[in-house]
């Protein structure tokens, strides 16, 4: 990371609202080694113009609302607008709800460079001149370059270290969210929620738009239609739903309204140039707006949020926070309005300075209020407006959209670009916010594709359109079935998705990325817009009319990519590919996250690379709270390796203090062309077994040394070494007893837990799977050594067979051991 601001301008630059630590940005470059790409600064008519020039062609990924993320030769203005989408298209709009003065450039050799203009003011990014990136904004402002690094992912990790990683989301927030404008009563909310359960369509969250309020007044409830929010939430929780409620920044200008009165008393409103509170028209009518640039205002708002959460609020939705203002040409407040900002934010400035960060500061205040309400739960906040660094406080959705193929296609690039600017938790309105296409469109596009797209995040997801507002199950049966299949896929993948978000939270590695991230050197991948990556998982989806998946040619990166499904093949579902060398954990398709249990079956999808190896990780904790920051989690590293026709799957390492759950572990090997080979056994506490074997080592060694040698090979048919014994050697250590046959390397043939209290418990077994493969990689003689028995009836070893006639045995049981020549 390099800050190129000239020394004489450094002190005059405004504080950074992007960086976690402002000192990181303001520390001059101390090395004598000049950066590879050095910006050139010049001033013209109050504007600072910064240019970066490449020596060879680079590929630019510009974060840009309403357009594809392919190579840009365009100009973009970073100034967030609260444009109302009703009946209009955004294809020609370059700025909407968020502002990110950030460019990611990929060099021909696959290396990448990030450029951040760290200014909150209106900033223009101009890419019209070949090999040149030009940034124009009121001066002075610093330009930070990140890299070049060896890969685009490394650039994003560096950006996250500077601007902060994403907050760790509660696990339930990664499930499906049901939202629409709007549910008119608590009875309707319950009716919709119960129908999801009756029809077996997975869902975790239901959202309340502004109609729950009393006259659109924030922090109130309609006394007739939402008279008892606590009771409503209790009923929702009972059937596995969380409740999210909207809060806008516009506070009704009305004496006697407790929020207005307390705000006026604390003097928290944004002022006009003459010093009087600004009043603008929004949903409640005339409104005043909190000045979130002041710490006292943020504390005031957080205290309101804290009290609001006591009604059973699980999450909060911040809308209209650009801030949007009706009856205004610009759809926002005048730039001449005054904010009395804190010193660390830039002191007293007009609205043009703070406009782009207003939504982020509101989300920050809401986040802090939810933490005050319950320190043992992770806040969940969704924001429409944001800036670089918003990921520390809130998720994002892409705003009001249309139910059209164009907006479906755009949603992929929009969500990916949010991730490329450091904000991985995002998603679109499914089905579109407005305009209704034929049900087949919902069936083939807006349901199946975003069910994987918003795997990227989650969010204000709509399975119904505003007009006519049909529920998914009231349109066509085919659409309902596709929804069910797609959402079941999503829930199966939650262990993988949750793990990716933990990695993003702790390291800054992005969750979802464009396909070219798999091979940044391959220029043919850089323009793909119908596929994306979730870690090593490639999702390829049809997102344009007359483009069914079976006719869509999915361009795959180089290497091994194994296609698979969950026995749910359907032409309207995306194709799934797992990269060779990867192991991905998946779980059962629950109806909601609350149904999950640590003892649930776990499945490992394994795709070996060209060297016969694979690896993957799984993060597990209680799904909420902050215990994981104190070591209360389990991070498991799985590896698989093919050696001499045997594939071994094992745990290579663990982190955290959580005890490994007792559960069935399913291993599915992807062999190409959709073929899978499945094995099932009991996942164990490998460390406990390892300690047991270690503790018995000396006894085991002594017994082997004392074994009588075979006096005459001719008389006894068998393998040379120690004497064959009908009775296996028994080793005891602590609560465990092992029976071992010493002559074939000390093979464990049974393991028994001695305390009777555990007589019916599951076996603890080492996590080792052996798979015998023919030379052509077809399968034969699949078996698992569990530490208690071989899960296969006949296994040949040097002319002999080991025999185990029962696949699963309870603790306390032993097995007959036969040796056959």
503-550 pLDDT, tens digit each: 999 999 999 999 999 999 999 998 888 899 999 999 987 766 665 555
- pLDDT of 477 strictly over 80: no
Out of 186, 291, 322, 434, pick the active-site residue.
Answer: 322
Of the two residues 462 and 499, the one the predictor is more confident about is: 499
pLDDT tens-digit profile of 110-162?
999 999 999 999 998 888 887 888 899 987 899 999 989 999 999 999 999 99
Give the model's pLDDT for residue 212.
Answer: 97
Q: What values do phi and psi take at 525, rounded to 5?
A: -90, -10
Cα angle for residues 192, 408, 571 (degrees, 5° grid)? 80
Quote the pLDDT of residue 543.
64
Domain assignment present for residue 342? The answer is no
In CATH, what number is assigned to the domain containing residue 128? 2.60.40.1760
pLDDT confidence band for 463 (50 / 70 / 90): very low
Q: Which residue is associated with the tokens 């009991």?
A: 682
In the structure, what pLDDT confidence band is assigned to residue 34 with cuts at 50, 70 and 90? low
Query: Is residue 781 one of the residues assigned to a domain?
Result: yes
pLDDT at 443 over 70: no
pLDDT, average across residues 327-347: 94
Give the pLDDT confidence score for residue 503 in this predicted structure. Answer: 97
SS3 assignment for 797-814 = ECCEEEECCCCCCCCCCC
4-14 mean pLDDT: 70
Task: State which of 128, 150, 172 marks the end of a domain.
Answer: 150
Q: 126 an active-site residue?
A: no
Residue 560 pLDDT? 95
Give the chain's domain count: 2
In a domain, 75, yes or no: yes
Give the contacts of 452 (CB within 8 A, at least 6 positions apart).
486, 489, 490, 534, 539, 541, 574
pLDDT at 227 over 90: yes
Q: In which residue are the tokens 């393991």 written?
A: 751
Is the residue at 280 inside a domain?
A: no
Q: Distance between CA atoms of 485 and 55, rounded to whole angstroms?
A: 49
Instruction: Answer with the residue of higher pLDDT: 321 or 805.
Output: 321
| Residue 61 contacts residue 417 (beta carbons within 8 Å) | yes
pLDDT band, very low/low/confident/very high, at 171 (cuts 50, 70, 90): very high
* 634-643 and 613-620 strand pairing: antiparallel
Give mean pLDDT, residues 250-263.
Answer: 98
Name, of 177-181, 198-202, 589-593, 753-757, the range with top average pLDDT: 589-593
pLDDT for residue 365 is more than 70: yes
Look at residue 28 and tell me if it is in a domain: yes
Cα–Cα distance for residue pair 693/363, rounded to 1 Å:
53
24 is catalytic: no
The residue that leads in pLDDT, 267 or 689, is 267
- Residue at a domain's end among 150, 180, 203: 150
Domain that holds residue 18: 2-150
- Residue 552: inside a domain: no
Of 761, 751, 744, nearest to 802 by C-alpha is 744
On the question of pLDDT at 585 being above 80, the answer is yes
SS3 161: helix
Residue with tokens 């020039």: 53
209 phi, psi to nearest 5 deg: -80, -170
Per-residue pLDDT band for 80 (boundaries 50, 70, 90) equals low
Check 124, 235, 319, 368 and give the catalytic one: 319
Single pTM value for the model? 0.82
User: Of the given ranges (240-249, 492-501, 552-561, 616-625), which has the lowest mean pLDDT?
Assistant: 552-561
Torsion over CA: 134, 137, 139, 144 (sign) = negative
pLDDT band for 407, please (50, 70, 90 cuts): confident
What distance in Å separates the CA atoms of residue 239 and residue 540, rounded to the nearest whole number? Answer: 34
Cβ pair 707, 742 in contact under 8 A: yes
Q: Cα(402)–Cα(429) distance, rounded to whole angstroms?
A: 9
The string of pLDDT tens digits covering residues 720-754 is 333 444 455 565 544 555 555 544 444 445 555 45
Summarize the confidence of residues 483-502 as an average pLDDT. 93
Three-state SS letters, 455-505:
CCCCCCCCCCCCCCCCCHHHCCHHHHHHHHHHHHHHHHCHHHHHHHHHHHH
For residue 86, being part of any structural domain is answered with yes
Q: For the chain, what is the mean pLDDT?
A: 78
Work out the burial of residue 267: count CB atoms within 10 Å of its CB; fewer than 13 is exposed, 13-18 middle, 19 or more buried.
middle
End-to-end CA distance of the chain: 68
Cα torsion 427, 429, 431, 434 to 10°: value is: -150
Arithmetic mean of pLDDT, 753-758:
40
Say if residue 794's pLDDT is above 50.
no
- pLDDT band of residue 23 (cuts 50, 70, 90) is confident
Tell me if residue 688 is catalytic.
Answer: no
344 located within any domain: no
Query: Is residue 766 within 8 Å of 684, Cβ to Cβ?
Result: yes
More confident residue, 447 or 669: 669
Catalytic residue among 248, 400, 429, 572: 400
Write down the pLDDT at residue 764.
35
Which of 150, 170, 191 is the C-terminal boundary of a domain? 150
Alpha carbon distances (Å) from 402 to 85, 398, 607, 620, 641: 8, 11, 39, 37, 48
pLDDT tier, 479 (very low <50, low <70, confident <90, very high otherwise): confident
User: Quick one: average pLDDT of 183-197?
Assistant: 95
């Amino acid at each position: 990371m390099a800050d190129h601001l000239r020394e004489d301008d450094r002190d005059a630059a405004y504080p950074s609202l992007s960086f976690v630590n402002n000192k990181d940005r303001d520390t001059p470059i101390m090395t004598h080694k000049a950066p590879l790409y050095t910006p050139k600064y010049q001033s013209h008519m109050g504007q600072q113009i910064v240019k970066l020039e490449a020596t060879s062609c680079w590929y630019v990924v510009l974060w840009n609302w309403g357009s594809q993320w392919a190579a840009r030769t365009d100009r973009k203005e970073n100034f967030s607008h609260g444009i109302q989408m009703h009946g209009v298209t955004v294809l020609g709009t370059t700025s909407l709800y968020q502002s990110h003065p950030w460019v990611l450039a990929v060099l021909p050799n696959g290396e990448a460079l990030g450029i951040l203009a760290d200014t909150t003011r209106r900033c223009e990014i101009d890419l019209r001149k070949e090999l040149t990136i030009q940034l124009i904004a009121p001066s002075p402002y610093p330009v930070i370059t990140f890299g070049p690094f060896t890969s685009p992912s490394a650039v994003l990790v560096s950006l996250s270290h500077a601007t902060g990683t994403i907050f760790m989301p509660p696990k339930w927030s990664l499930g499906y969210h049901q939202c629409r404008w709007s549910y008119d009563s608590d009875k309707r909310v319950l009716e919709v929620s119960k129908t999801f359960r009756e029809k077996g369509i997975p869902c975790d969250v239901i959202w309340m738009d502004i109609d729950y309020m009393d006259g659109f007044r924030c922090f109130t409830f309609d006394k007739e239609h939402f008279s008892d929010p606590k009771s409503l939430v209790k009923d929702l929780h009972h059937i596995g739903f969380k409740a999210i409620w909207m809060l806008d920044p516009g506070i009704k200008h009305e004496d006697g309204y407790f929020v207005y009165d307390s705000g006026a008393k604390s003097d928290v409103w944004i002022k006009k140039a003459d010093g009087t509170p600004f009043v603008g028209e929004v949903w409640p009518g005339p409104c005043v707006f909190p000045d979130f640039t002041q710490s006292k205002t943020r504390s005031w708002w957080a205290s309101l949020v804290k009290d609001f959460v006591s009604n059973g609020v699980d999450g909060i939705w911040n809308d209209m926070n650009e801030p949007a203002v009706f009856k205004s040409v610009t759809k926002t407040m005048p730039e001449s309005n005054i904010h009395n900002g804190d010193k660390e934010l830039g002191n007293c400035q007009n609205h043009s300075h703070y406009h782009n960060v207003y939504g982020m500061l509101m989300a920050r205040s809401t986040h802090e209020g939810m933490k005050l309400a319950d320190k043992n739960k992770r806040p969940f906040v969704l924001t429409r407006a944001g800036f670089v660094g918003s990921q520390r406080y809130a998720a994002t959705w892409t705003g009001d959209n249309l139910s059209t193929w164009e907006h479906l296609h755009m949603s992929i690039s929009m969500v990916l670009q949010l991730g490329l600017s450091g904000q991985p938790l995002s998603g679109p309105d499914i089905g579109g916010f407005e305009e209704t296409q034929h049900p087949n469109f919902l069936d083939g596009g807006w349901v199946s594709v975003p069910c994987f797209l918003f795997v990227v995040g989650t969010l204000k997801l709509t399975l119904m359109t505003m007009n006519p507002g049909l529920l998914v199950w009231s349109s066509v049966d085919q659409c309902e079935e596709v929804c069910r299949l797609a959402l079941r896929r999503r829930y199966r993948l939650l262990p993988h998705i949750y793990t990716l978000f933990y990695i993003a939270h702790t390291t800054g590695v992005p969750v979802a990325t464009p396909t070219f991230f798999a091979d940044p050197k391959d220029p043919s991948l850089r323009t793909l817009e119908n596929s994306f990556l979730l870690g090593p998982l490639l999702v390829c989806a049809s997102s344009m009319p007359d483009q069914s998946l079976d006719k869509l040619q999915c361009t795959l990166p180089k290497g091994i990519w194994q296609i698979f499904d969950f026995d749910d093949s359907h032409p309207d579902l995306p194709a799934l590919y797992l990269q060779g060398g990867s192991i991905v954990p998946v779980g059962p398709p629950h109806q909601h996250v609350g149904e999950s249990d640590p003892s649930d079956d776990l499945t490992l999808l394994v795709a070996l690379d060209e060297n016969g190896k694979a690896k993957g990780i799984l993060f597990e904790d209680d799904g909420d709270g902050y215990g994981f920051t104190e070591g209360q989690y389990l991070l498991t590293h799985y590896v698989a390796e093919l050696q001499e026709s045997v594939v071994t799957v094992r745990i290579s390492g663990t982190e955290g203090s959580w005890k490994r759950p007792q559960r069935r572990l399913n291993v599915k090997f992807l062999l190409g062309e959709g073929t899978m080979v499945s094995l099932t056994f009991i996942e164990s506490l490998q460390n406990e077994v390892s300690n047991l074997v270690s503790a018995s080592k000396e006894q085991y060694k002594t017994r082997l040394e004392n074994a009588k040698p075979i006096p005459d090979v001719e008389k006894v048919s068998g393998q040379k070494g120690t004497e064959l014994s009908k009775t296996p050697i028994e080793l005891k250590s602590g609560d465990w007893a092992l029976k071992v046959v010493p002559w074939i390397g000390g093979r464990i043939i049974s393991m028994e837990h001695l305390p009777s209290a555990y007589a019916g418990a599951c076996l603890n077994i080492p996590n080792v799977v052996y798979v015998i493969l023919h030379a052509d990689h077809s399968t034969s003689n699949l078996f698992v050594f569990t530490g208690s028995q071989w899960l296969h009836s006949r296994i040949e070893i040097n002319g002999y067979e080991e025999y185990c006639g029962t696949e699963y045995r309870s603790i306390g049981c032993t097995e007959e051991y036969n040796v056959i020549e």
